[in-house]
Structure 1
């Protein structure tokens, strides 16, 4: 009996398995978007309640195994999620965009919000909008992409970082104007690492998912004393739960070339100018018979490769993403090269029925920078073009050099530019690791209460070595030298905050409360030693540290999704200031009105978004460059500062100047903005107005003798004002079955003014000179002056002859006193642009796509110090050697340099195409599980400008031996498995 029952049970179970198996079917389909009926690649397709998933390919196709009667979930960023019951083997899905993507989540300080609920000036750039090309440092991904954010690309040295300025960045005169950068919740040290490498170049750009820029104080004030120059939040890529194993392999090769060089005389022009110069009798006997373009000798075709391998996999309650990358990029200057090996891991785990999530991010990189001899660029522009490259003998490495009669190198002569590159070594190795662990817990005893703990670290160590052999002309006097340098920069972070959200449906309200504590400690050490064969070794080393402790809070309120309120308060304590000034309080408040939610617009067929925002906030600046400026400090004197007692000389110990009352700078910002969207988000953008006033500005000022231990001191004296208007516009211009085109445009108008520089009004105080230039010791061409923009150019007004040529040494008598002196110096423009423009275009036709980025700058001025210091007859000969000069001498005929002439202050407005990219997505040439994409990109395509230097985009506004930016051609291949 029992045997028969057992047989019946087994037969029933087999039938059940057969029925269940037969109920599972293969589902296929195509996912398209509603607006243009175009396929959507990368859509996640998941069987609800399981870990079975798939992702659509480039043509929107998917295949998945599912039970008949089960449910498939289709999700894609920016589109409404759909759930569909499985009743057929073919299910095609049309996905509809969220209106203007208003429900898209945006990371903000210590939390997140949606575009719809944001009250501040926040702008997001995600990976699909990034600039393409040979990108070695992450900030280059967003050049030209956001209003009010000026990313000035680096020069021709690979691995250099760009200069970032948010809303002009003119929040300080002496402190740091770089924005605070936060990577996955970890604020990174804003200083550059040793050796001159970029602070972010060890982060693989391929690992970055998005940038969020916080621009106004109502959004940045949550970071208090660190946010005056703005905040950039970088989020790295991660895996998704319930997703299949995905492998991505990408590789590209690039070649860069010099686009423009310094305009100097060629050999024939040099001989002609020399023959007619006042020093012809000294120059002509030294002329050679060659025609050498020395700039051609130091530049090269720059080859580069970048390869990345990424694996992602999602399970029911966990996911991971792992990547490795390898980048090699030569510079266009010989001997320069950047090499990076990187790895990253993101792991997420959900526990306690998803009440607890644990996320771990860790990324590391080993980079090596081969730096060229920095003097080669300037020397190549000045070396005599009539001389040969090589001498024909083995002395000094075989390179032709200027020699004394006894055969020794002329001690003050310029060195052979190619010899400088090939006979000197400067190599720096960098180890970088940054990571954090985030725990996020939804409390079961109180719905809406969330606890978050973020523990992170940032470690950066640089070790470099320099070598100059004694057999080279550069190392002759010291008989060669070896130097070492490096730094360690490390920080640890611990953040803990509670967040409470509550929907009160009875009164149509939502509230959110956040309170937390943050602590971050920084340690920095630098060393620099030089050991010449002849002479005493030089050792410059130091170590320092500082810490920041903060209490943060935020209150957010929404009524009926129409009226939004945001209030933040942060109390910061910085070890950089004394106990009396250590703590500061920073507030912000913002109001927003979602006008499109009002009844008279809610059902509009035209307006899909209309929001008015008002904001006010206070921020600070504690990146002052010194950690103990409030303390009296004694330092060891140098060997030339010894004191004699009897027959013995003793090194002195001397006090440094200090300001016991030094404190952070403080800024107040007002912001008003209007977000708009039309035709279901096909046209969208915003317009903003802001004004920012910074008080207690740190400034280097002269002080009365005997009042301190120095004659100049950095102290809190000064007020600044910045204001501007920003405008953004995004439009889906065209969307049909086989063709789509959308563009994004941004514009900024920015001004800045110095309001105060000293304690009392002093008519004799003309300002603080800055912008020191080459050509004569002690000359400066810029000034910080009350009522003017920062670093305004101060020069004589050049007088021109009837032939239109400048008359040497003749300037306008501005004050009419009959003499030309410092009283006739006047303000002529400043380096900051009045207007910045950016235009990005994205077009798709079938499998093809074409993208480009344009940037324009209007109203920026540059002082051409290369022309002013060498474009004259005096520069043709010096210290028994001939030297080349700038070709401007052909226009001016100047015999001596005219360093303070406004002739050299030039309008450097420009229009640039930064990127032009053409891509093709292949289909039906490989197994269906493999997607293949090929992309061709040109970087630095063209520059239109009237500026006659190498490049009009000069940080600081003084052009002096600028490393030219290359034009780069790139071919890349991307495969998804």
Structure 2
């Protein structure tokens, strides 16, 4: 800094093209750590500036400016958009590219696009935000996860979830023991962005784990040359269920029992109990974040502490998280060496409610009381009998008291987890275009917990002893990879060359131990599973004349999960792009500012075949109830498991074509992609003839699937002005998945039953069959009378043999949608901001097992012992006497439109502190004709569903300057 008089400079920074202020611009005195950032209105003030100092103005997405200071008190600045700078932040795996130069189906989702509110799990941030990506929460349990599907998945028995990479560490796709959702270890408020890799041209660099897409999560880090920043963010939430399963109330149930021949009304109670009202509560929660960060010239740090507490709408359900995120960045040797360390330490605590209470509340006699102190069941009423010894014991097959299931159970678990990654990047001084990148990381978790029930609980089979189970486990995931990257302009070819080659080694270790004492017999199980993956990879990209793009990648993977003969496989890809907007006939267009055509082909794999290796025999210790008795002692046996020595990877071939466009200074932009995918050597669990293996079911390579689809994403700035802005994001995805081959033979009628249902033992309502979607239902076609009512036992004689047999069951409808969409609106008026998101799904069906399992009279009145069960209200419409489990009457349209998320905030700037209060509502509205609790059921079978709550969130954010 110059030794002249020190001055204070103020000014305003705006966007050249629109005149709008730019908040968050870094304003630095060049060569010093003296700096500040612009506020919400683009204003800044910086002190201690001397004449001849140079002020640097920089912000992501804009061309930086350096302006000599000449003593003026006010200095206003205009920044030009720099699309190339913005595009450079798009990750593609082992490197980055620009949006303009990407030839694969790649999408980045930034924080300003995230869903707001009391978000516990990261994937909830991007629900409804990306074409081709469908995120379905597993239910309303606190801290529960979601099913993530990119382009619908491609496997049957293999895992269909995408590979998740967090700060360079691919997570174990099997998850982590003891947690509701392994992504809960990532604090949503600390996520910088998501990058979704959809097609093989983008994902094949991850080879054997990329068939179902890849999601790259980057967490926030400190920024160099920034002032000390302290931020406090607090959110408080309350939630309640929006609907309950329709069952008979006490008056309706009494009337039905009293009018039903052969029943005994004296078995009814004298109460009027709404069991669903009794098991549910108003959930409450808090999410608190404290963050501190600072950036120096060559060093930056960021530290975040997160505390999350959330109760469930189901009583006794509780989730807690305490987490610390640390990010350190150091530049050395004139920025030739860059060191980055990220570490996430998490303590995840759960008190698990018995969600069996949900089904029990639906089926329990509403005329009975909750409590009965005269019975030996902890003060709760239970259906009972007197045994030969004169003891009062519970009826074995009777429904258990829902409140007793919840309160006479103590189930707690704790997981301690750390995810740490050290990244080293070195740029060679003698060849600045060449850099070396090394990544070393580990993901380590320990968990322990217990399940307890007193002997007074009717859920304990031995009335003389309590039930105790203790468990513990270790998950360890270690990674080391490195690569060399060369990027330079070859002037005589007018081509930019980007070359990458590297090696990766990752090892996974899981250890689990359980100790339980059912029936006073102590049983211990201990299991270790270990596997590793070694890989070599390379990628070459060429940008010719800033118009023509060529990219190719290759990965060679070896997995210990497969035999030496099948251990290694290759995963290549190739893609091209054409930037038409750079051609002379479009370059000067005032309307069109981006138009790019893309096409790609690639092969990816899937190795997620379950906990065992699958290609060689293992022995499993027996579980409780399967010990061998010698005298008065019981001993565990060893059971050989099935195996297939020829087992190998699934391989997925993908063809993708796309177009990216932008009009009117990108006020209207988007992309359209079409894809075709074939899965070969499909991993599936299939029946095998008795004696052919060590089990009746075997995981093996059998069959093929074909999927195809079209995805459209559109972004539009409807209004751009100084005071008011309105932007819209809309995406729609059309998809189709079909099994084209399933059996090892040529039997066209071969199928595999799937989709177990409640209400019967061994009943399945779905099937896998060539020519059909894997979620297709398998039912009889119901016959109706003239009034449109189903006729009990009357089905269509499909094959015309004048009798209804299993041969008349037909594939019918499916659980996966034909198309789904998302619509997000974001509005800003001065200091107010408002956003809301709709999601829709169409062409999907759900089997209403809540109706079919309790929707007939004998379900509640014909029992082997003296008790009655409640019935679904649907029985009043059908008057079914007996079960009709396989009727298509219960396969119901589950189309829906949901108003998922609405958030309103107000920014209050101040001299020392900025404050932003906000209010958010989630799960606001569902428009559907589905008769059940919720149309959004991931597997298509509605049974014992933990309801999602409508949640109201009040939040306040404090940013200290």
Cross-structure match for 1:911:
897
Matched pairs, number: 951
Shift of 1:537: 2.1
Select between 352-361 and 186-195 the one with higher mean Cα deviation: 186-195
Q: Distance in 2 between matches of 1:424 and 1:37?
A: 63
Shift of 1:342: 0.5
Deviations 1:299-342 (A, max 9, x none): 11111001101111110111111111101011111110110000
Query: Aligned runs of 1:514-525 on 2, under 5 Å?
Result: 514-525=500-511
Give yes or no for contact 1:58–1:931 (8 Å, CA) kept in 2. no
* Of 903, 910, 921, the match for 2:907: 921
Give yes or no for contact 1:36–1:736 (8 Å, CA) kept in 2. yes
Cross-structure match for 1:382:
363
| Alpha carbons of structure 1 residues 845 and 652: separation in structure 2 relative to 1, 3 Å | closer
Shift of 1:911: 0.3
Give yes or no for contact 2:743–2:750 (8 Å, CA) kept in 1. no
1:168 aligns to 2:152 (yes or no):
yes
Give SS of 2:437's match.
Answer: strand
Q: Distance in 2 between matches of 1:154 and 1:625?
A: 20
Shift of 1:393: 4.6
Cross-structure match for 1:29:
11
Shift of 1:751: 0.4
Cross-structure match for 1:38:
20
Shift of 1:461: 1.8
Q: Distance in 1 between matches of 2:842 and 2:399?
A: 37
* Of 221, 225, 240, the match for 1:242: 225
Cross-structure match for 2:307:
326
Cross-structure match for 2:574:
589
Gaps of 5+ in 1: 1-16
1:944 aligns to 2:927 (yes or no):
yes
Q: Distance in 1 between matches of 2:381 and 2:567?
A: 59
Give SS of 2:520's match.
Answer: coil
Give yes or no for contact 1:731–1:744 (8 Å, CA) kept in 2. yes
Shift of 1:260: 1.1
1:107 aligns to 2:91 (yes or no):
yes
Give SS of 1:450's match.
Answer: strand
Give yes or no for contact 2:4–2:51 (8 Å, CA) kept in 1. no
Q: Distance in 2 between matches of 1:841 and 1:775?
A: 44
Deviations 1:118-151 (A, max 9, x none): 1100000111211101111111110000000001
Shift of 1:230: 0.4
Deviations 1:693-721 (A, max 9, x none): 00000122222333323332111011011
Cross-structure match for 1:767:
751
Deviations 1:488-516 (A, max 9, x none): 11111000100011101232111111110
Give yes or no for contact 2:179–2:348 (8 Å, CA) kept in 1. no
Q: Distance in 2 between matches of 1:913 and 1:645?
A: 62
Cross-structure match for 1:140:
124
Give SS of 2:141's match.
Answer: coil
1:401 aligns to 2:386 (yes or no):
no
Give SS of 1:295's match.
Answer: helix
Give SS of 2:451's match.
Answer: strand
Give yes or no for contact 2:107–2:195 (8 Å, CA) kept in 1. yes
Give SS of 2:907's match.
Answer: strand
Shift of 1:648: 10
Deviations 1:470-499 (A, max 9, x none): 123323634211111232111110001000
Give yes or no for contact 1:191–1:199 (8 Å, CA) kept in 2. no
Shift of 1:425: 1.0
Cross-structure match for 1:4:
none
Cross-structure match for 1:564:
549
Shift of 1:104: 4.3
Query: Aligned runs of 1:623-642 on 2, under 5 Å?
Result: 623-637=608-622
1:881 aligns to 2:863 (yes or no):
no
Give yes or no for contact 2:686–2:752 (8 Å, CA) kept in 1. yes
1:192 aligns to 2:175 (yes or no):
yes
Cross-structure match for 1:51:
33
Select between 692-701 and 635-644 the one with higher mean Cα deviation: 635-644
Cross-structure match for 1:852:
836
Query: Aligned runs of 1:266-305 on 2, under 5 Å?
Result: 266-279=249-262, 281-282=263-264, 284-305=265-286
Query: Aligned runs of 1:827-846 on 2, under 5 Å?
Result: 827-846=811-830
1:339 aligns to 2:320 (yes or no):
yes
Q: Distance in 2 between matches of 1:729 and 1:643?
A: 64
Provide TM-score, normalisation by structure 2: 0.97
* Of 884, 890, 915, the match for 1:898: 884
| Alpha carbons of structure 1 residues 649 and 558: separation in structure 2 relative to 1, 3 Å | closer
Give yes or no for contact 1:420–1:474 (8 Å, CA) kept in 2. yes
Give SS of 2:44's match.
Answer: strand
Give RMSD over aligned pairs. 1.8
| Alpha carbons of structure 1 residues 606 and 420: separation in structure 2 relative to 1, 3 Å | same
Give SS of 1:28's match.
Answer: strand
Give yes or no for contact 1:838–1:854 (8 Å, CA) kept in 2. yes
Give yes or no for contact 1:102–1:116 (8 Å, CA) kept in 2. no
Q: Distance in 1 between matches of 2:307 and 2:783?
A: 56
Provide TM-score, normalisation by structure 1: 0.95
Query: Aligned runs of 1:419-568 on 2, under 5 Å?
Result: 419-475=404-460, 477-478=462-463, 479-532=465-518, 534-568=519-553
Give yes or no for contact 2:454–2:466 (8 Å, CA) kept in 1. yes
Q: Distance in 2 between matches of 1:942 and 1:238?
A: 37
1:698 aligns to 2:680 (yes or no):
no
Shift of 1:600: 0.5
Give yes or no for contact 2:355–2:946 (8 Å, CA) kept in 1. no
Give SS of 1:600's match.
Answer: helix
| Alpha carbons of structure 1 residues 644 and 305: separation in structure 2 relative to 1, 3 Å | closer
| Alpha carbons of structure 1 residues 389 and 641: separation in structure 2 relative to 1, 3 Å | closer
